């Protein structure tokens, strides 16, 4: 399966976004029913409540839900049938990861309680850097394999020439031994 690292990284970020958005909606009081999504979210060990005002929590939940939706669409596009889709989806994936970085920086620099969502220490930034690395690695590994096709064609031509040369050499050796 191609683009496995990118798929894993983007899936993790989509999950983080979706669960965080649901947690923020729970904090606003919009998810109050004990069953369904609210029950699932209530069971998650989230670092919530963060202490955001309800309108702020709803706005950040919308941003995170949008990121989760964008990541899901990008994953679908990465694995769509035509190969060219992946090359067009990669910049979108990088943009979505950059949006996470922007949200983190804005929350951290402004002193927003939302910064608590990203945890303490450099773990968030390390995970983000690994995700960019996965995207870059998968891109470099899947760059047009024209060189590989040319190498394979050259190896097939060498093998065909070797197969043709063996019978000629055998005929030449047998004719030399008949004369000698």
Model confidence pLDDT, tens digit, residues 50-78? 888 989 999 999 999 999 999 999 999 88
118: helix, strand or coil: helix
Q: Is the pLDDT of residue 128 over 90?
A: yes
Per cent of the chain over pLDDT 70 is: 78
Pairwise CA distance, residues 46 & 23, whole Å: 7
pLDDT of residue 143: 67
Mean of pLDDT values over 159-168:
78
Q: How far is CA 59 from CA 41, 107, 133, 167, 175, in A?
A: 18, 13, 30, 77, 89
Q: Retrieve residue 35's tokens.
A: 């069953």
Pairwise CA distance, residues 64 & 18, whole Å: 7
CA angle (125, 95, 73) in 5-degree steps = 110
Binned at pLDDT 50, 70 and 90, residue 114 comes out as very high
Q: Retrieve residue 89's tokens.
A: 């989806």
Ranges 12-16, 24-28, 38-42, 71-75: which has the least confidence: 38-42
Q: Retrieve residue 45's tokens.
A: 């060990």
Measure the CA dihedral 156/159/163/168, to 10°.
110
pLDDT in tens, 1-15: 478 889 999 999 999
The length of the chain is: 180
Burial class (CB in 10 A: 0-12, 13-18, 19+), 159: exposed
Q: Is the pLDDT of residue 101 over 60?
A: yes
């Amino acid at each position: 399966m191609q683009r496995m690292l990118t798929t894993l990284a983007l899936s993790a970020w989509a999950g983080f976004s979706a669960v965080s958005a649901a947690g923020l909606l729970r904090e606003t009081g919009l998810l109050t029913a004990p069953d369904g999504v609210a029950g699932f979210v209530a069971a998650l060990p989230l670092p919530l409540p963060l202490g955001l005002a309800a309108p702020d929590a709803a706005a950040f939940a919308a941003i995170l839900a949008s990121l989760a939706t964008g990541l899901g669409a990008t994953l679908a596009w990465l694995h769509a049938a035509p190969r060219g889709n992946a090359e067009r989806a990669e910049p979108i994936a990088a943009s979505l990861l950059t949006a996470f970085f922007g949200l983190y920086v804005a929350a951290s620099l402004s002193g927003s309680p939302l910064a608590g969502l990203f945890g303490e220490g450099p773990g968030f930034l390390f995970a983000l850097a690994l995700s960019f690395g996965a995207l870059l690695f998968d891109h470099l590994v899947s760059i047009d394999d024209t060189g590989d096709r040319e190498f394979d064609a050259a190896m097939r031509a060498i093998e065909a020439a070797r197969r043709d040369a063996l019978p000629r050499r055998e005929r030449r050796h047998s004719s030399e031994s008949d004369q000698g």
